[in-house]
Amino acid sequence: MTDTSTYPAPRRLDREAMGWFARAEAWLDDRGKGAWIAAMVLGFILFWPVGLALLAYMIWSKRMFSGNCGSSRQNGKSSFRAATRSSGNMAFDAYKTETLRRLEEEQASFEAFLERLRGAKDKAEFDQFMDDRARDARSDTEGSASRMDDRGQAPA
């Protein structure tokens, strides 16, 4: 058995044992990032150094840039891991594998369809360009022919 007298006792985290700053921090954390921003704005209104100190603390403690922005990237990674991980039920895993394979095939066929659609649009735009160019060339030759005199020479 080990001697526990050399290890510190675990800290008790009840609200009465915390100081006023820790209680305020916990209260704001319970209410989210909006409460922190409201406290910072209120601090700027009442006495600007308080607002500046709150802003610095929010940036230093990473409260300003945490929350929804970072969690959406993390959720994408964890959902991929969840999709590829075995559930332990062989029937469900077979169903999940088949569904994922079918979805990948549908995605590939849809991407091929979009590629064909882009190709058709590009061809139509190119054909329109060539038609316009041919029409402009015809109108230029007709205009220059009408400017020639009776002897077939352009006026000087």
Interval 87-140: pLDDT, tens: 888 999 999 999 999 999 999 999 999 999 999 999 999 999 999 999 988 888
Instruction: Tell me the one-letter amino acid at 64.
Output: M
**Domain range annotation of the chain:** 14-63, 86-144
The burial of 40, by beta-carbon neighbours within 10 Å (0-12 exposed, 13-18 middle, 19 or more buried), is given as buried
CA distance from start to end of the chain: 118
Which of the 8 DSSP states describes residue 85? S
Share of the chain above pLDDT 90, in %: 29
Interval 70-87: pLDDT, tens: 344 444 555 666 677 788
Q: What is the pLDDT of residue 98?
A: 93
The span from the CA of 121 to the CA of 127, in Å, is 10
Average predicted confidence (pLDDT) for the chain? 77
Assessment of whether the complete model's pTM goes beyond 0.85: no
Question: In which element (H, E) is residue 72 found?
Answer: helix 68-84
Return the number of other C-beta atoms located less than 10 Å from residue 63's C-beta.
Answer: 18
